[in-house]
Amino acid sequence: MQQRSDFCGHNTISNVSSIAALSIDDRPWISFHKGPTMLVLIKSIKSVTPVFVGTVLGALGVALPGPARHLLASAGAVRPNLSGHLTLAARVQHILGIQPGDASYLPSVAKLVKVVAPYVFQPHPRHAIYAALAQRSADIRQLVAALNAGANPNALRTKILQSVNLEGRYVPLKGKHWRYGILGDRMWIAAYIQNHALELMRAGNAVQAAHYARASLLLRCQESPAMGWYYPLLYYVHTGAERLRVKEAGPLMRKIQMIPASLAITVAQQQDLNGLFRTASLRGGKRFRRLYNSLDIAANVVGRTGRPFDRKIVGNYLKILQQSISAAPSIHWRYEILVNTMVALRRLNLSGHRGTSEKIEAVFQQWTARVKANETMEPVAKEALLRWLKEALPP
C-alpha cells in the first residue's frame, strides 16, 4: 500500500495552516502570512487576560450545573510545577489536573484513523468524516475516557518521533506497519472530539463537554514535533481567540470563543495555559523566524543548478545554517532545518557542487557529535534527531 505523507517539511501535502483550521471547520478561515515551510506566526502577544470559565459560560447563556461547578473547583486544586524539560502534552496534562497513568488510547487512535483516512484528501471532507466517526462512538468514548482517566501524555508523540522520516513518511521500527495514520487523519479526530464538546456544552452537559475538550487538546499537543507548541494551543487560550485575524465573524467566531470555555478550567489553570502559549510564541519568536526565513532563502540560492558560487554566498549560507542550528528552540524546528537543508544538499549534489555540499555535511557532522555528547536531551527526541541527521547526509 502506498504510504501517505503529510508531516511538516518541503514534501508536505497538507500544510500547518489547513491542519490548524481543522479545529473548527474544513475551511482555511484564518488569514496568515505564509513562510517557506511553516506559517509565520502572529507577530506578538502583548498581554494575556485570564478568563473565568463560569463568567464566560454565563455570557454565552450556558448554565453551569452542580457537577460542573464541582469540576471547576477540584480541577485547580494543585498548581502545576512546570519546571524541567517536560513535553507540551505533559505540561498540559498537569495543568488540567489529570494524573499521568497507563490508560490505553493508542488502539482507539489506530481504529479511528482507518475510518478517517478514505476521506481526508477529498474536497471539503468534513461532513463525510464526521458522519463516519459518529458511527464509531464507542471508540471515541474509549479514547476520551482513557485520556481523562490518566494516560501516558507522550505515547502517541513517542511513536511519531520513532517513526517519521525527513520526507514526512512513517517508517516504524522492526518492520511493523504504521497504525496511526497521518497528521491530517489524527487532527480530524481531534476536531471531531472538540466539535462534540461544543455540542455537549450547548446541550447543557458541561462536565462531559470538558472531558471531550480536554481529550482533544491532549491529542493535539502530541503533534508538537510537526506543529510546534503554538498551533495545538491556539484555540484554547483567551488571547489566541481574541487576536486571530479571521475572515468571517458571526456564528463561526462565537464558536471559536467557546473553545477555551469548553475545557471548564479555573482562572489559575487558564493563566497557566496562556503562559504556555506565550512561551510558544517566544520559542518560535520573531528573531528565530527571521533567521529561519533567511536560511530558506539562502538554501534556494545555493540549491540552484548550473551556476558557480563565490565564497561569500557559501560562507553566508553556512553562517546562517550554524546560527539556525544553535538557535532552534525545539525538536520541531530542528526537523524543519534538516528538511530544508536536505533539499539543498540534494540539489547541490545533482548539479555537481560537491565542494559546497561537503561544507554543509561537515556542519551536520559537528551537529551530530554535539547531539551525541548531550546527556540532558530527551532520549526519544535525541534518537529521532540523530536518525534524521544520518538521513540528511548523502550515503
Q: What confidence category does residue 202 fall into, taking pLDDT thresholds of 50, 70 and 90?
A: very high
Q: Does 28 score more than 60 pLDDT?
A: no
Can you give the pTM of this predicted structure? Answer: 0.79
325 vs 363: CA distance, rounded Å: 10
pLDDT digits (tens, 9 = 90+) for 328-368: 988 999 999 999 898 888 888 777 778 888 899 999 999 99
pLDDT at 5: 67
Over range 101-110, report the average pLDDT.
94
Mean per-residue pLDDT for 290-315?
75
Judged against a pLDDT cut of 50, whether residue 70 lies above it is answered with no
How many angstroms separate the Cα of 68 from the Cα of each of 9, 71, 72, 94, 232? 42, 5, 6, 19, 25
Q: What is the mean predicted confidence (pLDDT) over 283-300?
A: 78
Q: If you average pLDDT over each of 99-113, 232-246, 309-323, 349-363, which comes out highest? A: 99-113
- The grid coordinates listed for 80 are 502545576
**Other C-beta atoms lying within 10 Å of the C-beta of residue 166:** 21
Comparison of pLDDT for 153 and 306, the residue scoring more: 153
Query: What grid cell was written down for 127?
Result: 461532513
Three-class SS of residue 39?
strand
What's the pLDDT score for residue 58?
Answer: 34
β-strand 33-34 against 39-40: which pairing, if any? antiparallel
SS3 of residue 246 by DSSP: strand
What does the pLDDT read at residue 207? 96
Is the pLDDT at 80 greater than 60? The verdict is no
Looking at residue 137, its pLDDT comes to 95
Q: Which of 19-33, 136-150, 162-176 has the lowest mean pLDDT?
A: 19-33
Q: What is the DSSP secondary structure assignment for residue 40, as one 8-state letter?
A: E
Find how far residue 152's CA is from the centre of its chain.
17
- Cα 25 to chain centroid, rounded: 17
pLDDT at 19 over 90: no
Helices (H) and strands (E) in the chain, counts: 20, 2
* CA count, 13 A, side-chain hemisphere, 227: 29
Q: By percentage, how much of the chain surpasses pLDDT 70?
A: 71
Ordered DSSP codes for 137-206: HHHHHHHHHHHHH---TTHHHHHHHHHB-TTS-B--GGGPPP-S--HHHHHHHHHHHHHHHHHHHHTT-H
pLDDT surpassing 60 at residue 245: no
pLDDT at 238: 67
Q: b/e string for 123-148 if b means 16 or more Cβ within 10 A?
A: eebbeebbebbeebeebbebbbebbb
Query: Do 393 and 364 meet the contact criterion of CB atoms below 8 Å apart?
Result: yes
Checking if the pLDDT of 178 tops 50, the result is: yes
Query: Measured between alpha carbons, how far is 213 from 61 in angstroms, rounded to an integer?
Result: 19
**What residues contact 330, with CB distance under 8 A and at least 6 apart?**
224, 228, 229, 283, 284
Q: Which one has a higher pLDDT value, 118 or 79?
A: 118
The answer to whether residue 48 scores a pLDDT higher than 50 is no
pLDDT tens string 209-239: 999 999 999 999 999 999 888 889 988 986 5
Share of the chain above pLDDT 90, in %: 48
pLDDT of residue 59: 32
